[in-house]
Amino acid sequence: MDTSAPNLYGILIEFDHPERLVNACRKVRDAGFKRWDAHTPFPIHGMDGAMGIRVTRLPFLILGGGLTGLAAALLMQWWMNAVDYPFLISGKPLFGLPANIPVVFELTVLFAALTTFFGMWGRNGMPHLYHPVFKSERFRRVTADRFFIVLEARDPLFQLSKTQEFAASLGGVAVELLED
Amino acid sequence: MDATRAMEPLDNTLEDPTRPTPLVLGGHTLTSLTDKICAIAEKPRPPRAWYIAITASSSLTLVMFAMIGYLITTGVGVWGLNNPVGWGWAIVNFVFWVGIGHAGTLISAILFLLRQKWRTSINRFAEAMTIFAVICAGIFPGIHVGRVWVVAWIFPIPNYESMWPNFRSPLLWDVFAVGTYATVSLLFWYTGMVPDLATLRDRATTKVRAIVLGVLALGWRGSHRHWHRYEWAYLILAGLATPLVLSVHSVVSFDFATAQLPGWHTTIFPPYFVAGAIFSGFAMVGTLIVPIRKWFNLEDIITLHHLENINKVILATGTMVGFAYSTEFFIAWYSGNPNESFTFVNRAFGPYAWAYWTMVSCNVIVPQFFWSKKIRTTPWMAWILYIFVNIGMWFERFVITVTSLSRDFLPSSWAYYSPTFVDVLTFVGSFGLFFTLVLLFVRFGPIIAMAEVKTVMPVAALEGESKPIGDYHGDMHDEPRHLREKE
């Protein structure tokens, strides 16, 4: 952490080719940075390894969501048709599992899908309408055809002059300081 | 971007097993692809044809709402229903529209799990079509309940009667199946659209566009840490949507299959309905995509290769549907059940023979023309066949619903059913609603999934051969595990 520039958010490095970005990410990873990110218009092959990203635990959250839906559907059908308002129709049992399977299936899928949606955006910290990177004019092309690395100033290894030198050595086409 | 692709041959319908078929033609770079697709939504004024089309379609939508108003204020007697045909066009139209939606989910979820990369050019549009079709479908059960003002009773919410819905009824399963389907389709569509909305946001030139698109894009900034979770979520949503889409039309078919009526009470219905749904849905995708790729000059992104694949799916599912028709006939004879065999003979040679043979010609004979490569790869020829398939699949639902009801066990209760003008105009009006929503989407939305198409475009390699460098949803996993886990 470098305290010499208190308003600094980080350093933005622009790349014009995805392979150059992947190579640069490996260097940043090996240099030991923790607070940094790569920004790309589309997911790029091999980036998880190049950035050293651990596989997300999102699937476990979703499993939980799905099981909740399953339990909720069973409880709801049992309580509504067999307990709260016993509904005798055509002499069928008040609570019969086979007849309840379609709703159980649908609610399992529904709860799992809602967990996926809100879990993914939540863990990504979105909606997040303001971010320092949006101040950069060149960053507007990140959703079209340019590739970026951001090294954040709050990283323990960050030292303005040294990190700027390091940024310049990564093979990008431009380096820019980002204000917070 | 220095990443330029080599010139590709214009005909990518010739499959060369030694190399992947190019999915984007016209020498596009990432930049030119973005410019081209965004330009459609960014043009200050759409072409004149768009105005004419939306005037027509929104007028039809008004006709539909007028008919619904007439129905609600007067009663279901304005429809052609009689005794014994108590289920007419409303259920036919419902099944028709839900079926159309299935192609979108098949393209976005099932083809995704099967790693069919050609889906990237058409999945966004097909997903949008799914949602619009499900909206149209949802209208019909909503209005055919008779007393529309208590339609909330189909949901398990407390009401003043202190009664709960009957969970052993397939009609209630339908509520859950279609409700879940609509919700999951919407989540899937929106999730896929966020990176493209961010592209439009970053190109916005007016304050209003910047704010509206900025909010819709949720602040997406292409972070790879976000892409990582996003890709997982997308994969899981596809995994959830796959059994879901198969379940929806299965549950719709239970509405019929759990009844005792000859011609309905069959176990073949779930797979037969699902095949038919995919068949009709792909025909509707084709019906819309052929003019759209022409009007917006998208022939290099939605290529003949894509159309040919659509046509192959139609051929395969159309043949399955034909097989199901013949199986039904065989079982009607083989079961030895006189009611069942009468129903099928009555379908083919009774008062509704005209509808039956329309169905067979459109659904069984017409798709066989797709064996010809010339027809598969000539958009206008294929388009004519799509129209026939759309008609045929509507008739399939009509034949199933009406022939069984109009002549069941007791000949003294037989009656012929014909629709009234209210039935006809409500259905025609639902096309108005569908096309209005489609036209609004092609005007304002990102109709091609740009971020996904970019993952299948070859980007010039720094050294060696050009190849797609994008990570097409989880191709990532060939990275050594120790690298992935290192942090």
B136-185 pLDDT, tens digit per residue, is 999 998 888 878 888 888 888 888 888 888 888 888 999 999 999 999 99
Please answer whether residues B353 and B359 qualify as being in contact, where contact means their C-beta atoms are separated by less than 8 angstroms: no
Closest Cβ opposite residue A40 in set B165, B179, B222: B222
Q: What is the pLDDT of residue B384?
A: 94
A117 inside domain: yes
In one letter, which amino acid is B452? E
Å from B277 to nearest chain A CA? 19
Q: What is the pLDDT of residue A48?
A: 82
The larger pLDDT score, comparing residue B37 to residue B383, is at B383
User: For the segment A88-141, what is each residue's pLDDT rounded down to a tens digit?
Assistant: 888 888 888 888 999 999 999 999 999 999 999 999 888 888 888 888 888 888
What's the average model confidence in pLDDT over B249-260?
90
Interface probe with A: pick from B180, B211, B475, most Cβ of A within 10 Å = B180
Question: Helices (H) and strands (E) in chain A — how many of each?
Answer: 5, 4
What does the DSSP 8-state code read for residue A135? G
Q: Does B34 reach chain A within 8 Å, measured CB to CB?
A: yes
Q: Does B243 reach chain A within 8 Å, measured CB to CB?
A: yes
Stated as kind and residue range, the H or E segment containing B448 is none
Q: Is the pLDDT of residue B18 over 80?
A: no
Q: What is the pLDDT of residue B10?
A: 58
Please answer whether residues B246 and B285 qualify as being in contact, where contact means their C-beta atoms are separated by less than 8 angstroms: no
Contact A87 B164 (CB under 8 A): yes
Q: What is the pLDDT of residue B467?
A: 63
Interface probe with B: pick from A53, A135, A146, most Cβ of B within 10 Å = A53
The boundaries of the domain holding residue A75 are 58-123
User: For the segment B372-420, what is each residue's pLDDT rounded down to a tens digit?
Assistant: 999 998 999 999 999 999 999 999 999 999 999 999 888 898 999 999 9
Q: Does B39 reach chain A within 8 Å, measured CB to CB?
A: no
Q: Is the pLDDT of residue B294 over 70?
A: yes
Q: Is the pLDDT of residue B120 over 60?
A: yes
Instruction: Output the CA torsion A106→A108→A110→A115 (10° steps).
Output: -170
Q: What is the pLDDT of residue B313?
A: 92
Q: What percent of chain A has pLDDT over 70?
A: 97
* Cα–Cα dist A33/B359, whole Å: 65
User: Which tokens hold the place of B371?
Assistant: 């064996």
Closest Cβ opposite residue A145 in set B31, B184, B485: B31
User: For the segment B274-290, what is each residue's pLDDT rounded down to a tens digit?
Assistant: 899 999 999 999 999 99
In chain B, residues 455-484 whose CB comes closer than 8 Å to chain A: 455, 459, 461-462, 468-471, 473, 475-476, 479-480, 483-484
- Residue A108: partners with Cβ closer than 8 Å, 6 or more residues away: A66, A67, A69, A70, A73
Q: What is the pLDDT of residue A73?
A: 94
User: For the segment B195-217, what is each residue's pLDDT rounded down to a tens digit?
Assistant: 999 999 988 888 888 899 989 99
Contact B195 A42 (CB under 8 A): yes
* Cα–Cα dist A158/A32, whole Å: 10
Q: Is the pLDDT of residue B24 over 90?
A: no
Please answer whether residues B362 and B392 qualify as being in contact, where contact means their C-beta atoms are separated by less than 8 angstroms: yes
Q: Does B232 reach chain A within 8 Å, measured CB to CB?
A: yes
Å from B336 to nearest chain A CA? 27
Å from A145 to nearest chain B CA? 5
Closest Cβ opposite residue A127 in set B177, B218, B247: B218
A122 CA to centre of own chain: 8
Q: What is the pLDDT of residue A31?
A: 86
Backbone phi, psi, residue B260, to 5°? -90, 0
Residue finishing a domain among A106, A123, A140: A123
Please answer whether residues B138 and B178 qualify as being in contact, where contact means their C-beta atoms are separated by less than 8 angstroms: yes
Question: CA–CA distance from B108 to each of A15, A37, B318, B458 (Å)?
Answer: 31, 29, 20, 22
Closest Cβ opposite residue A102 in set B251, B454, B486: B251
Whether A159 and A135 share a structural domain: yes
Q: Does B157 reach chain A within 8 Å, measured CB to CB?
A: no
To which residue do tokens 């048709």 refer? Answer: A81
Residue of chain A minimizing CA distance to B158 = A80
Please answer whether residues B151 and B307 qualify as being in contact, where contact means their C-beta atoms are separated by less than 8 angstroms: no
Residues comprising chain A, all counted: 180
CA-derived radius of gyration, chain B: 24
Closest Cβ opposite residue A109 in set B1, B163, B184: B184
A128 CB-side CA count, 13 A:
15
A139 inside domain: yes
Judging by beta carbons within 10 Å of its beta carbon (0-12, 13-18, 19+), is residue B70 exposed, middle or buried?
middle
A2 inside domain: no
Range from B212-216, B364-368, B453-457 carrying the lowest mean pLDDT: B453-457
Contact A120 B232 (CB under 8 A): yes
A1 inside domain: no
**What band does A2 get if pLDDT is binned at 50, 70 and 90?**
low
Q: What does the mean pLDDT of chain B come to?
A: 86
Whether A112 and A67 share a structural domain: yes
**What band does B465 get if pLDDT is binned at 50, 70 and 90?**
low
A3 inside domain: no
Contact A126 B462 (CB under 8 A): no
Closest Cβ opposite residue B167 in set A51, A62, A99: A99
**What band does B458 get if pLDDT is binned at 50, 70 and 90?**
confident
Å from B102 to nearest chain A CA? 16
Q: What is the largest CA-CA distance in chain B?
A: 82
Contact A85 B247 (CB under 8 A): no
3-state secondary structure of B447: coil
Residue of chain A minimizing CA distance to B462 = A19
Q: Is the pLDDT of residue A27 over 90?
A: no
In one letter, which amino acid is B196? D
Closest Cβ opposite residue B228 in set A20, A53, A76: A53
Q: Does B239 reach chain A within 8 Å, measured CB to CB?
A: no
ipTM of this complex > 0.85? yes
Q: What is the pLDDT of residue B280?
A: 92
The larger pLDDT score, comparing residue A5 to residue B347, is at B347
Contact A129 B214 (CB under 8 A): yes
Residues in chain A within 8 Å Cβ distance of B189: none
Residues in chain B within 8 Å Cβ distance of A141: 202
Q: Which runs of consecutive H residues, i.e. helices, occur in B335-449? A: 338-349, 353-360, 373-376, 379-398, 404-406, 421-444
Whether A107 and A159 share a structural domain: no
Q: What is the pLDDT of residue B237?
A: 92
Q: What is the pLDDT of residue B486?
A: 42
Q: Does B207 reach chain A within 8 Å, measured CB to CB?
A: no
Residues comprising chain B, all counted: 487
Contact B224 A134 (CB under 8 A): no
Q: Is the pLDDT of residue A157 over 50?
A: yes
Residue of chain B minimizing CA distance to A128 = B219
Q: Does B451 reach chain A within 8 Å, measured CB to CB?
A: yes
Whether A146 and A172 share a structural domain: yes
Whether A82 and A65 share a structural domain: yes
Whether A101 and A16 share a structural domain: no
Å from A2 to nearest chain B CA? 22
- Residue B231: partners with Cβ closer than 8 Å, 6 or more residues away: A43, B471, B473, B474, B476
To which residue do tokens 């509808």 refer? Answer: B355
A114 inside domain: yes
User: Which tokens hold the place of B275?
Assistant: 């095949």
User: Which tokens hold the place of A124?
Assistant: 């990504």
* Cα–Cα dist B220/B214, whole Å: 9
Q: What percent of chain B has pLDDT over 70?
A: 91
Q: What is the pLDDT of residue B463?
A: 61
Contact A89 B2 (CB under 8 A): no
- Residue A111: partners with Cβ closer than 8 Å, 6 or more residues away: A65, A66, A68, A69, A70, A72
Q: Does B251 reach chain A within 8 Å, measured CB to CB?
A: yes
Interface probe with A: pick from B226, B251, B475, most Cβ of A within 10 Å = B226
Å from B234 to nearest chain A CA? 8
Backbone phi, psi, residue A177, to 5°? -90, 135
What does the DSSP 8-state code read for residue B362? I
pTM of the entire predicted model: 0.89
Number of domains in chain A: 2
Q: What is the pLDDT of residue B39?
A: 86
A106 inside domain: yes
**What band does B6 get if pLDDT is binned at 50, 70 and 90?**
very low
CB atoms closer than 10 angstroms to residue A86: 10
**Hey, which CATH number is domain B30-477, 3.40.50.10490, 1.20.1630.10, 3.40.50.300, 2.40.50.140?**
1.20.1630.10
Residue finishing a domain among A76, A91, A123: A123
Å from B175 to nearest chain A CA? 9
